[in-house]
Structure 1
Amino acid sequence: MNNKEIVAQAIFEAVKEELTIEEVGRLLENPKSAEHGDVAFPTFALAKIYRKAPQQIAADLAKKINGDRFEKIDVVGPYLNFFMNKEVISSLVLKEIAKEGSTFGDSVIGNKGNVTIDMSSPNIAKPISMGHLRSTVIGNSISLILDKVGFQPVKINHLGDWGTQFGKLIVAYQKWGSEEKVKAEPITELLRLYVQFHEVAESEPALEDEARAWFKKLEENDEEAVELWKWFRSESLKEFDKIYQMLEVSFDSYNGEAFYNDKMAEVVTMLEEKHLLKEDQGAEIVDLSAYELNPALIKKSDGATLYITRDLAAAIYRKRTYNFVKSLYVVGNEQSIHFKQLKAVLKEMGFDWSDEMTHVPFGLITQGGKKLSTRKGKIILLEEVLNEAIESALNQIVEKNPDLPNKEEVARQVGVGAVVFHDLKNDRLNNFDFELEEVVRFEGETGPYVQYTHARAMTILDKAGFTPNPEAVYALNDGDSWEIIKLLQNYPEVVMQAANQYEPSVIAKHSLKVAQAFNKYYAHTKILVEDEQKDARLALVSAVTTILKEDLRLLGVHAPNKM
């Protein structure tokens, strides 16, 4: 129970004839200053019921409420200000974390329901750039958070392995490519060919026609086109896998766009049977004016299907295969109209489960405030960024702790973790600029700062040889420890908020607050001094390591014990 719930229960006992416990809970406030207590209750809502002045109601209520969980209850005008009993609350919180360990904050609310998460989804024959980082790490963190609250996440890497770009790539490879170069550096060479195609096509537009012709051959299962496509795909996947291993992200399915080629005809038939298709200038559309959306273009005038047709097939396939209770699409903000149309068409088809489909949008990573673009070759390769981050972390570790035995492994955890944490600490809808020097700092609001705090706390526990006893009473009453206790106590609510909002930044920000509160405590308190509260202080340190490690785990980041 957090402090608001404890206060709500106490007030409810006194006013249960007039307000429900939920109504009481909604009225509670967090005082702006610690001098005004931990929780405040304004009595205005009771004035009409009791036909008394709020100030009088507050004074009367204060006499009715008691309990060992409150140090005191001040009446300030119409407000009741509750000061929690620090010793009682801290002992409850520390006991619970000592008992539950990393499962503190777990929930069964998901009831083991499947949640499909469409994430990462790079294009074959193009490198995984910083632009792919967000979908990958946000999707991975959401999967870990949903797992903690009882869902079964199904991570789907919906590869961009189909489309006219393959026509372009085949043309470019045949004109300027070499098998030897592609085998040596698959992605680098294929990207070079792709960029070259666009540069030449600006002055030779006929190249676009050649590309379309080759893609048509690919669609018609032309042997040469299919062989090249399969080769480009397998070489790309090998390269992608290196990066996924660095990030420690895995997938339950790599079914990409090509997988749905033979599943789209059924979708078109279903739309025809339900009389949803209309002809418009030779193309076939679904009218979505009832949803205040532009029509969904299902088939172009040349008979070619479009993204939405494929995504309809994918949504239906996922429902049949996984019987999901939720289906998430961790895809950039610029695709929001597409997903509104997708849901609307499925709704028109009679699939009410489309209500459980959610677009989880995110903003851009920019450099110098500008968007990164593949077509013009202006990209920042994710693998290079991760390697640079690892190198930067190693340099700082060598400087701070030259005798650390497993420096390279810790540097990998810190460097990769720094890049992931920096992404996830930002509200996902916000754009942010990426500067490596800022990201891998051991001070400030960074991943290495949280990791370093965890390692510092672990060192204290090692030095003391302390493991908390779940049956012991550990009570603290000082102000600095109280700030930490409140953050630890609220952890189950933090996890639930992150799960409900599909927002990993809630977890990242919590970890920063815990780290900052602990470092303030560490600066002001002699933890290992021999007195009657030494074990209670160490139990607090232990609880901090438990929660920081779990916070970082939910972000997909390691918590080294030594740094």
Structure 2
Amino acid sequence: MSLDPLKPFRDEVESATKAAFQAMGADVRFEIEVPATGVADFAVPCFPLAKALRKAPPAIAEEAASKLPRMEMASKAWAERGYLNFKVDEKKLSRSTLTEIMKEKENYGKGAHRKEKVLLEHTSVNPTGPIHVGRARNPIIGDTLARCMRACGYDVTTEYYVNDVGKQVVILTWGLDHLSPSDVDIVDDSEKADHRLVAYYRKANEMMENDKEVEKQVGHMLRRFEDGDEEVIEKVRKTAKLMLDGIIESLDTINVAIDQFTWESTFIKDGSAHRVVEELKRSEHCKEDKGACYLELEPFGVHGRDTKFFFTRADGTTLYTTRDMAYHLNKFERADRLINILGEDQKLGQTQLAIALKLLGKERAPEVLFYSFVSLPEGRMSTRKGVVVHLDDLIEEAEARALEEVKKRRTDLSEEKMRDIARAIGRGAVRYNIVRVQPEKPLVFKWEDALNFEGNSAPFVQYAHARACSILRKAGEFGRDLDPEVLTNEYEVKLIKALARYPSVISEAGDKARIHVLPAYAHEVAAAFNQFYTYVPVLKGEENRDARLALVDATRLVLANALTTLGLSAPEEM
């Protein structure tokens, strides 16, 4: 477990502030903030205390400042505009921060192991076609959250729920059984199955809509599937597996790896979906509509057209919602905590699911992180398909654009080396640009943001890491027996304070599922490092050379840790 260099300072601020308020005759709750301006390192806003203390916030802050006990970790405390402000002892912070980073290296910022088992479901797109840009946020958010939670010490397993039961995948299976390549119009020249087989689905779906016999055959397959027919289930699963392999290949390009896959058909084969149906039928809230069973949810606060939550069709077959309930009952047995990453269009469904699970006797419900979908500006990106932009297209164009930028900047590299760098930049740009925006906020993916070498982007952070590596290569060996307290220059101190915040940022990202704070932090460190090496002579100056090189090395380690946790590569050369 890595120690948080800022914790002793924060703990002292909390203890001293509490003592000051108690000396004023008030035992009140208060918040400690980290001001963005940098004027103070910690601040206690006194505005929320005005009613309890019956004083104006500036007066509260002034009196509290006068009653603070002697502090060893803070160099200064003062009241200003209703805030009680604190400055840390910068020499002590420099020593504790650099010592901890150099000791822990790649483990810096990581929390102690927790016994709690977390099952995090993400991606789970239907295996009937490639992932499109609109849904690309799901795997990137899910994978980044899993990385942040693991860094916090959680035991996290990521899972993909494979929909191999739905009508779409059955239609595709029928198409593969009955159509030859000459029967379909394959417009995608990709060799990947998830692109190539879409043409079979389109043709089969068209035939089903226009031919009663085809519709009958597909319906018969669906019925056999629902009845647990092993032959049909295996045939459909084989089709889903073909598509899934292509999807997994796409995920691999953005460094998303999934620990395990659970197949929806499992809950038909093992009878658990039908057990859910039988149990829900016994509920007083179960009703029927032309043979189809549903739960009436109006008593639970659901209103309008959404009060009927169907869990069987008129013919008695189960629905996706039914199997999803069986799946969650299964997940409850395997983990202490469930997290689902879902699009904002699933909010009603998750409310209905939570109510149904309660009726099944479960007081638990999955935690859900909802995200808004990704869109592209009109006409800003060409695609072979013309209608839908797939994740594969986005990655391909990102790498091509990154290669153009690399060629402008590095004429001294081989073509292979330039392509390696472009691959790291392009793929990193896609992940970073998607995760830097809070999940619930809409995101318009713009190339000028994603590949901006000077802005809040992956290339900017990756370049800072590469610059740190370059400085260390040029410096060669340097003394490690140094005194971090000599680093008193304003740019040195600003960078050290940024490095000291990494454990608390990781905690916020993983414990509170606020993953967007991590790219913001990485950009802050990269910007502080740029100022440092611009204004402070590291290689040319002899004064404090070893300590400054140690600061460069510490920055390299923190940037590498942040990039890795974001799922990005940390290139040593750009």
- What is the TM-score of this pair, normalised by structure 2? 0.85
Q: 1:151 corresponds to which residue?
A: 154
The residue type paired with residue 266 of structure 1 is: R
1:338-357 paired onto structure 2 within 5 Å: 338-354=349-365, 357=366
The residue type paired with residue 256 of structure 1 is: W
SS of corresponding position for 1:477:
coil
Label 1:99 to 1:19 Cα distance change in 2 as closer, same or farther (>3 A): farther
Deviation at 1:140?
A: 0.9
The answer (yes or no) to whether the contact 2:287–2:295 under 8 Å persists in 1 is: yes
Alpha-carbon separation, structure 2, partners of 1:117 and 1:296: 25
The answer (yes or no) to whether the contact 1:47–1:54 under 8 Å persists in 2 is: no
Deviation at 1:5?
A: 3.9
Deviation at 1:51?
A: 9.0
1:241 aligns with 2:216: no
Q: 1:549 corresponds to which residue?
A: 560
Q: 2:165 corresponds to which residue?
A: 162
* More moved, 301-310 vs 169-178: 169-178
Alpha-carbon separation, structure 1, partners of 2:61 and 2:237: 76
1:285-324 paired onto structure 2 within 5 Å: 285-293=294-302, 294-320=307-333, 322=334, 324=335
Label 1:76 to 1:368 Cα distance change in 2 as closer, same or farther (>3 A): closer
The answer (yes or no) to whether the contact 1:195–1:377 under 8 Å persists in 2 is: no
* More moved, 131-140 vs 145-154: 131-140
Deviation at 1:534?
A: 2.6
Residue number among 356, 368, 376 corresponding to 1:367 in the alignment = 376
* More moved, 386-395 vs 335-344: 386-395
Query: Which structure 2 residue ranges, 5 or more long, are not aligned?
Result: 1-5
The residue type paired with residue 400 of structure 1 is: R
Deviation at 1:104?
A: 2.3
The answer (yes or no) to whether the contact 1:361–1:429 under 8 Å persists in 2 is: yes
SS of corresponding position for 1:73:
strand
SS of corresponding position for 1:352:
coil
Alpha-carbon separation, structure 2, partners of 1:61 and 1:541: 37
SS of corresponding position for 2:136:
helix
Deviation at 1:18?
A: 5.8
Label 1:359 to 1:46 Cα distance change in 2 as closer, same or farther (>3 A): closer
Deviation at 1:342?
A: 1.0
SS of corresponding position for 2:361:
coil
1:4-43 paired onto structure 2 within 5 Å: 4-16=10-22, 23-24=29-30, 26=31, 28-30=32-34, 33-34=37-38, 36-41=39-44
Q: 1:397 corresponds to which residue?
A: 406
Q: Deviations over 1:460-504 (max 9, x none)?
A: 122223578488434422333333233222222211211233232
1:478 aligns with 2:489: yes
Q: Deviations over 1:354-383 (max 9, x none)?
A: 2xx11111111112369x9xxx98222222
1:534 aligns with 2:545: yes
SS of corresponding position for 1:426:
coil
The answer (yes or no) to whether the contact 1:508–1:555 under 8 Å persists in 2 is: yes
Deviation at 1:288?
A: 2.6
Residue number among 78, 81, 86 corresponding to 1:82 in the alignment = 86
Alpha-carbon separation, structure 2, partners of 1:43 and 1:240: 52
Alpha-carbon separation, structure 2, partners of 1:446 and 1:54: 40
1:279 aligns with 2:288: yes
Label 1:201 to 1:520 Cα distance change in 2 as closer, same or farther (>3 A): farther
Alpha-carbon separation, structure 2, partners of 1:433 and 1:46: 42
The answer (yes or no) to whether the contact 1:68–1:88 under 8 Å persists in 2 is: no
Q: 1:440 corresponds to which residue?
A: 451
Alpha-carbon separation, structure 2, partners of 1:23 and 1:513: 31
The answer (yes or no) to whether the contact 1:62–1:75 under 8 Å persists in 2 is: no
1:53-132 paired onto structure 2 within 5 Å: 55=59, 58=62, 61-62=65-66, 64-76=68-80, 79-108=83-112, 111-132=114-135
Deviation at 1:409?
A: 3.1
Alpha-carbon separation, structure 2, partners of 1:248 and 1:57: 49
Q: 2:219 corresponds to which residue?
A: 212
Label 1:468 to 1:274 Cα distance change in 2 as closer, same or farther (>3 A): farther
Deviation at 1:311?
A: 0.8
Label 1:14 to 1:106 Cα distance change in 2 as closer, same or farther (>3 A): same
Q: Deviations over 1:192-240 (max 9, x none)?
A: 2323455566777886555434422443466875565244223223323
Label 1:467 to 1:274 Cα distance change in 2 as closer, same or farther (>3 A): farther
The residue type paired with residue 358 of structure 1 is: E
Query: Which structure 1 residue ranges, 5 or more long, are not aligned?
Result: none
1:386 aligns with 2:395: yes
Alpha-carbon separation, structure 2, partners of 1:60 and 1:140: 45
The answer (yes or no) to whether the contact 1:38–1:84 under 8 Å persists in 2 is: yes
The residue type paired with residue 405 of structure 2 is: Q
Label 1:399 to 1:32 Cα distance change in 2 as closer, same or farther (>3 A): closer
Residue number among 426, 437, 440 corresponding to 1:429 in the alignment = 440
Label 1:205 to 1:437 Cα distance change in 2 as closer, same or farther (>3 A): farther
* More moved, 481-490 vs 69-78: 69-78
Name the structure with the higher helix share.
1
The residue type paired with residue 299 of structure 1 is: T
SS of corresponding position for 2:311:
strand
Alpha-carbon separation, structure 1, partners of 2:546 and 2:180: 69
Alpha-carbon separation, structure 2, partners of 1:137 and 1:298: 31
The residue type paired with residue 267 of structure 1 is: V
Deviation at 1:337?
A: 1.0
Label 1:59 to 1:534 Cα distance change in 2 as closer, same or farther (>3 A): farther
Label 1:22 to 1:297 Cα distance change in 2 as closer, same or farther (>3 A): farther
Q: What percent identity do the matched residue pairs reach?
A: 26
* More moved, 76-85 vs 290-299: 76-85
Alpha-carbon separation, structure 2, partners of 1:542 and 1:184: 44
Deviation at 1:265?
A: 1.4
The answer (yes or no) to whether the contact 1:40–1:80 under 8 Å persists in 2 is: yes
Q: 1:494 corresponds to which residue?
A: 505
Alpha-carbon separation, structure 2, partners of 1:295 and 1:301: 14
The residue type paired with residue 380 of structure 1 is: V
Label 1:270 to 1:203 Cα distance change in 2 as closer, same or farther (>3 A): closer
Q: Deviations over 1:34-88 (max 9, x none)?
A: 4x53334456749976999964972674475444533433454765443333223
The residue type paired with residue 86 of structure 1 is: E
1:212-231 paired onto structure 2 within 5 Å: 212-220=219-227, 225-226=232-233, 228-231=235-238
Alpha-carbon separation, structure 2, partners of 1:513 and 1:278: 57
* More moved, 39-48 vs 252-261: 39-48
Deviation at 1:387?
A: 2.7
Q: Deviations over 1:261-294 (max 9, x none)?
A: 2220122233345555333442212233332122
SS of corresponding position for 2:77:
strand
